[in-house]
Amino acid sequence: MTSRIENPFSMRFVLPEQRELYLQMKEDDKLVPMPSLEQDELDSFHYIIRDSAREDYAIAVSWWEPAKEEWGSICTIWGVVKWIDQNRRRIKIVNDEESQWICMDQITNIKT
């Protein structure tokens, strides 16, 4: 059984400030630190990125998006790599609905 302190929405009246704070706390619970990856994983990611750009096939890219200090969330997009910016170390993923620039240092996973 959940107490009223753990779930403020069990009360009949909730101030907007309380609701906003509760929702913010729930969002903060989803934040994770930046995952560390092994060099062989990074090398594999770079190969898949180059291959997607060259062969024009879609991949799913997950990356860590910073939110609060050392905490952030994992975002995912699928699409084709249309641009590799070596100077800024980022890639541009494009699909039917959107395009997204992703920093290569923040990529956490790639699936073909």
pTM tops 0.95, yes or no: no
Average pLDDT, the chain: 87
CATH 3.40.50.720 is held by the domain 35-111: no
Task: Kindly report, residue by residue over 61-101, the tens digit of the pLDDT.
Answer: 999 999 888 899 999 999 999 999 999 999 999 999 999 99
Q: What is the DSSP string of 20-82?
A: HHHHHHHHHHT-EEPPP--HHHHHHHHHHHHHHHHHT--EEEEEEEEEETTEEEEEEEEEEEE
Q: What ranges do the domains of the chain cover?
A: 35-111
